[in-house]
Structure 1
Amino acid sequence: MPVFITAIGTAVPQNCFPQTQIAEFMASALQLDEYEKRKLFALYRSTKISQRYSVLSDYGQKPENFTFFPKNQTLEPFPTISARMDAYRLFALPLVLDAVNNLGSSADLTQITHIITVSCTGMYAPGLDIELIQELHLKTNIQRTAINFMGCYGAFNGLKVADAICNAQSNAKVLVICVELCTIHFQKKTDEDFLLSNALFSDGAAAVIIESSPIKNYSKTLELKSFYCDLVFEGKQDMAWQVADFGFEMTLTSYIPRLVKKGIKDLIDSLLEKDHLSKESISLYAMHPGGKAILESIESAIGISKDDNRFAYHVLNQYGNMSSCTVLFVLKQLLEETSAVDHGKNILSCAFGPGLTLESMILNLHCSA
C-alpha cells in the first residue's frame, strides 16, 4: 500500500544568533585566552554555519540580562539537569505548535489517528503527545508513541513507525512530531567533543503528516518507498549522548566523518538492492547535515556533488544541526525547490547517530501539473 508524506511544517525559536556572536558567548563562558579564542573562532568559521536558533535569549545577552544561566560571566552555579528539563517543558510545546500551524491549509488535523513524538533533548510525563491533543483539541482516543534519545536519526524511526501503521491500517493518518532543544544542554568544557558540539547544534521543530491517501489531493507529496538501517560498532564510542548531572552530554569526535565515509556506500548499496534500484535512478538527495565534514564524506564516498547536496548545505548554513528534526527541514527545502518537472524522481535520504547508527530511505516525489 503506498504511503505518503502529505505535509511538512517546520519552526524555529525567535532568538536567532549569528555564528560569530555565539562564538563570543562561548569564548567568554569558557574563559579562553587570546590564543584559544582564535582557535575557537576558526572552528566556528569552518562549520559554514551562518546563524543558529535557540529558545534561550542568553546567547545574545550580557550576563546581567541572562534569564536561564546565572547572571555572571562564569555561569556558576551551572544549571542542573532539573533546570534544563524545566526549560524543555516550558519551550518545547510552543515550538511544536508553531510547526503544526505551518503544515498548511491542506493538513486536516481532525482526522489524525496516531501521534508519534520524537526527541532526544528532553522528556517528561504527561508529555508532549498529551499536551498536543489538549492544545489542538484532537480526539482523546488517538494512539500515541514516543521515540526518545535516538539522536540525529530519530526522525527515520518516526517515519518507519508511521509507515508501518499506515500499511496496517488503511485509514490511518499519522502526525509525526520532532522537536529538539539542543542549546539548553550547553556544556562548559573545553574538550574537543564539547567545543565541536557547541559549534554545531541548535533548536527546531518539525511536524509531518503521513497517510495512505490519493495523491491528487495534494500538489506535492513524498511517497515512502524503502528503509534500510545498519550499525558501525567501530564508532560506538565516537558518537554518544549521555544524561549527566548538568545536562545531556554529547560525545562527537572528529573521527565520525571517516566512519560515515567508510560505512555509507555499503548502506546505500543495500538500500538500493532492497528496492531493485541503481544509483543512476536517484535524482535528488536529502542528507542530514550533521556537519560540513560529514556532508563532504558522503559526497566522496558515493560520488555526488555539492550541488546534489544543496538542500542539506542550505539547512546547515541557515539553521545548524537541529538533531532529529533537521532532515525534515531538508525534505521541506527540497519540496520548495522542486516543481512538476521533477515528478517521479527518486530521493535518497540518510542520517547518522549514536551507535554508530546509519539510517537511509528512498522516497519518490509526486508533483501535480
Structure 2
Amino acid sequence: MHLSEKVHPAVRGLRAAARPVVTGSAHSFPATRTSQSDLWADFFHEHYSGLPLARRIFENAGIGSRSTAVDPRTEKAVSTWSTGQRMARYIKEALPLGRQTVTAALESAGLAPQDVGLLAVASCTGYTTPGLDLRLADELGMSSKVQRLFVGHMGCYAAIPGLGAVSDFVASRGRPAVLLCLELTSLHVQPPTDDLEQIVAHALFADAAAAVVLEPNAGSGYEVLDVVAVTDHSTADLMSWEITDLGFKMGLSPKVPDVLAQHVGEVVRDQLLAPHGLAPEDVTGWAVHPGGKRILEVVGERLALPDDALKASYDVLDECGNCSSPTVLMVLERMPSAEGPVVALAFGPGLTLYAALLRRS
C-alpha cells in the first residue's frame, strides 16, 4: 500500500507552508498638499474662532505638511456634508488612488495583476457596495477567481492584522497576495467645536494609500515571521470612530499614551520577540505607527530604544501626518536595508496594540 493511501482524504494534497515575503511596496497621496501652518491659517483658525488652545495643538503636533483629498480651504462646507455626500466622494477619490498604489506595488515586485491570488483592502474612512476591493480588482484586470478581503473600522492598526491575513494566505496557498491600506480622513472634518479630542484629530490626521505585495518563498525582502495582539477592553472608550449624520467622528482621549505605556513592553518583549529568542536590542529596524509625538516618545521610553531608532516614524509624521492604517507601511518602506529582524507596531480602537515580526534578507 502506498503511503498516500494511508493518509486521511481530508489532508491529502496539503503542501508545506511557504515563507511569505514582502517583495514590493508603494504609497500614494491625493493631489492636494498643504503645510500645517497654512491649513491652520487658511481654514482651522476661522473654524475654531482663533481658539489659542487649538492653535497650540496644531503647532505642536509634530507635522510639517500633509496631503488631503478634500481641501477645506477651498471646500469650506465640508463640515456640513452629510454622510451620504462624504461616501460618494470617498469612492470617487479612493478608486484612482488605490489603483495607482496597487499598480506601483505590483510593478516593484515584478508581478502582473493576473498573478494575484488575494487582494485585501483595509479602510475605515469610507464604505461602498460593490466594495473598493471588488472595483479595484475589476479595474486592474485581476482574475475573476481572485479572492478578496475587506478589513473595515479597525483604524490605525489595520495594516498589521491585514498583513497577518495575507501572509497566512501566501503561506497556505503558495500564491501572491496584495494588501492595500487606504484612508481619506479629510472627508470627515466635523463642525466647529471646543472639544479637545476633535481638535487633536483635525490637527493630526491626513490622507494616503499604501500597498505591499507578498510572494511565497521569495529570495529577498521582508519575511513575515509572526503577528501578535493585545486589547485592553477596560479602556475601549478612549479611542472611537463613530458614524454620525455628518460623517465619522473621532474620539481620541489624551489618556491613550498612558495606556499604551502599560502594554507595549509586554507585547513586544514577551509576546513577539521572546518566543523567537530575541530581545529589543536584536532588532535592526522599528516601524512604529506615528499616532502622535507622545505615542512615539512612550514607545521609545518603554522599550529603551536608541535615540535614532524611531527616526523613520518621526519623519513620516512630519512629512505626511497620521494617515491612519497606511502609515505604518509607509514607515516600513523607510527602514534601513540592513538584514535582520524588524518590528512593525501599530495602535488603535479597542484599545488595541498589534505587532508584527519581520526578517529582512
**Both proteins in one fold, TM over 0.5:** yes
Does residue 174 (structure 1) correspond to residue 177 (structure 2)? The answer is yes
CA distance in 1, matches of 2:307, 2:206: 23
- How many Å apart are 1:23 and its aligned residue? 1.5
Can you list the C-alpha shifts for 1:132-162, whole angstroms capped at 9, x where unaligned?
Answer: 1221111111011111000001111111111
- How many Å apart are 1:256 and its aligned residue? 0.6
- How many Å apart are 1:320 and its aligned residue? 0.4
CA distance in 2, matches of 1:39, 1:105: 44
- How many Å apart are 1:278 and its aligned residue? 2.1
Q: Is the 8 A contact 1:20 1:41 kept in 2?
A: no
Can you list the C-alpha shifts for 1:23-44, whole angstroms capped at 9, x where unaligned?
Answer: 12112123x14xx2x3222111
Provide the secondary structure at the position in 2 that maps to 1:324: coil
CA distance in 2, matches of 1:213, 1:271: 22
Can you list the C-alpha shifts for 1:8-57, whole angstroms capped at 9, x where unaligned?
Answer: 11000110010011212112123x14xx2x32221112111000110013
TM (norm. structure 1) is 0.89
Q: Percent identity?
A: 28
Aligned pairs for 1:1-369 (under 5 A) are 1-24=18-41, 25-30=43-48, 32-33=49-50, 36=51, 38-59=52-73, 61=74, 66=75, 69-70=76-77, 78-103=80-105, 104-109=107-112, 110-170=114-174, 172-188=175-191, 189-215=193-219, 221-269=221-269, 270-334=271-335, 338-339=336-337, 342-343=338-339, 345-366=340-361
Q: Is the 8 A contact 2:25 2:109 kept in 1?
A: no
CA distance in 2, matches of 1:84, 1:29: 19
CA distance in 2, matches of 1:306, 1:291: 17
Q: Is the 8 A contact 1:175 1:210 kept in 2?
A: yes
Provide the secondary structure at the position in 2 that maps to 1:237: helix
Provide the secondary structure at the position in 1 that maps to 2:72: helix
Can you list the C-alpha shifts for 1:140-195, whole angstroms capped at 9, x where unaligned?
Answer: 1101111100000111111111111112112x110111100011001122201100
Structure 1 unaligned regions, length at least 5: none
CA distance in 2, matches of 1:353, 1:106: 29
CA distance in 2, matches of 1:244, 1:212: 42
1:83 counterpart letter in structure 2: Q
Provide the secondary structure at the position in 1 that maps to 2:190: coil
CA distance in 1, matches of 2:167, 2:138: 25
Q: Is the 8 A contact 1:177 1:207 kept in 2?
A: yes
Provide the secondary structure at the position in 1 that maps to 2:183: strand
1:106 counterpart letter in structure 2: A
- How many Å apart are 1:105 and its aligned residue? 4.4
Q: Is the 8 A contact 1:23 1:40 kept in 2?
A: no
Provide the secondary structure at the position in 2 that maps to 1:4: strand
- How many Å apart are 1:131 and its aligned residue? 1.2
- How many Å apart are 1:248 and its aligned residue? 0.6
CA distance in 1, matches of 2:115, 2:165: 18
Q: Is the 8 A contact 1:117 1:146 kept in 2?
A: yes
CA RMSD of aligned residues (A): 1.4
CA distance in 2, matches of 1:351, 1:85: 26
2:70 counterpart letter in structure 1: L
TM (norm. structure 2) is 0.91
- How many Å apart are 1:98 and its aligned residue? 1.8
CA distance in 2, matches of 1:329, 1:249: 25
Q: Is the 8 A contact 1:12 1:204 kept in 2?
A: yes
Paired residues, what number? Answer: 339
1:182 counterpart letter in structure 2: T
Q: Is the 8 A contact 1:107 1:209 kept in 2?
A: no
- How many Å apart are 1:295 and its aligned residue? 0.2
Can you list the C-alpha shifts for 1:82-120, whole angstroms capped at 9, x where unaligned?
Answer: 011011011001111121232234331221111111000
CA distance in 1, matches of 2:25, 2:292: 23
Q: Is the 8 A contact 1:224 1:362 kept in 2?
A: yes
- Which deviates more, 309-318 or 273-282? 273-282
CA distance in 2, matches of 1:221, 1:105: 12
Structure 2 unaligned regions, length at least 5: 1-17
CA distance in 1, matches of 2:83, 2:153: 15
CA distance in 2, matches of 1:356, 1:319: 24
